[in-house]
């Protein structure tokens, strides 16, 4: 009886699961497109009879699902030992698209309000608290680290994600969710505005700090390589 079961037992085949994490990464890119579409149809002052508040509710759910797929594809890739080059490139790329796109929309025209202080009518602000220079800081950091990673790994050295980079992604994502909730439900509360601003400045701070830590790491690897070649 035992030999019968052994004969019919199928050996573990990692190739069966190899593409599942990559499929989840692709799904997250699709979710990013859906998320951006919802933000593009939303307008703070309303547009016609479209129930705009529901768009942000749906956008919140879509973003949470996207975050879950981000966790799941990494977990499955490690568990099944199917990490590959595509995943190492595509996963952070999709993360950057999702985060950078979110902040770019938050700084855009769909979330503009008149200056609350009653200044010149041409002076406007964003209800999200995100302004263009913040997006530039986040974008500059990502472009710099991507360039450093390409240069360092091109020389044969490992320049994978560090803890500060993962923490940055967590704080950025929390800030995005906080902004969605704030705009939809709590924009008239002072404590909510303070919470929103704390999250935003925490995002800017960790973005800059993690960028500096990556630069320091890249310089150390470069010096180590130079010393080894002497």
Task: Enumerate the domain spans of the chain.
Answer: 2-229
Residue pair 80/13 in contact by the 8 Å Cβ criterion: no
Q: What is the pLDDT of residues 148-171, one digit of tens each?
A: 888 887 777 777 777 888 899 999
Q: Report yes or no: 200 and 130 within 8 Å, Cβ to Cβ.
A: yes
Fold of 2-229: 1.20.120
pLDDT of residue 48: 45
Calpha distance 192→23 (Å, rounded): 37
Burial class (CB in 10 A: 0-12, 13-18, 19+), 130: buried
Q: Nearest-5° angle of CA 46, CA 52, CA 53?
A: 120
Structure-block tokens of residue 117: 């202080």
Say what the pLDDT of residue 33 is.
96
In this predicted structure, what is the pLDDT of residue 177? 97
3-state secondary structure of 145: helix
pLDDT under 70 in the chain at which residues? 1-17, 45-52, 84-85, 87, 115-123, 230
Dist CA 55 CA 183 (whole Å): 11
**What is the reported pLDDT for 78?**
78
- Distance (Å, whole) CA 8 – CA 1: 11
Predicted local distance difference test score (pLDDT) of residue 14? 55
> 3-class DSSP state for residue 3?
helix
Q: Are 66 and 28 in contact (CB under 8 A)?
A: yes
Residue written as tokens 């770019």? Answer: 104
pTM of the model: 0.85
Phi and psi torsions of 121, nearest 5°? -60, -20
At 151 the pLDDT is: 83
The tokens of 25 are what? Answer: 């990464």
């Amino acid at each position: 009886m035992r030999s019968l079961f052994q004969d019919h037992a199928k050996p573990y085949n990692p190739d069966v699961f190899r593409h599942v994490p990559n499929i989840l990464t692709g799904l997250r890119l699709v979710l990013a497109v859906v998320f951006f579409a919802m933000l593009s149809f939303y307008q703070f002052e309303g547009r016609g009879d479209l129930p705009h508040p529901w768009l942000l509710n749906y956008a919140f759910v879509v973003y949470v699902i996207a975050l879950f797929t981000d966790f799941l594809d990494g977990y499955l890739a490690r568990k099944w030992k199917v990490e590959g080059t595509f995943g190492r490139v595509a996963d952070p790329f999709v993360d950057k698209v999702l985060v950078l796109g979110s902040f770019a929309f938050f700084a855009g025209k769909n979330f503009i309000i008149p200056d609350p202080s009653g200044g010149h009518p041409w002076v406007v602000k964003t209800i999200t608290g995100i302004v263009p220079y913040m997006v530039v800081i986040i974008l500059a950091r990502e472009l710099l680290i991507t360039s450093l990673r390409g240069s360092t790994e091109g020389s044969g050295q490992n320049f994978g994600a560090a803890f500060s980079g993962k923490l940055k992604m967590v704080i950025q994502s929390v800030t995005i969710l906080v902004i969605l909730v704030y705009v939809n439900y709590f924009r008239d509360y002072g404590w909510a505005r303070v919470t929103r601003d704390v999250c935003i400045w925490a995002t800017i701070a960790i973005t800059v700090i993690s960028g500096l830590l990556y630069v320091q790491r890249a310089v150390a690897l470069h010096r180590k390589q130079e010393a080894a070649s002497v």
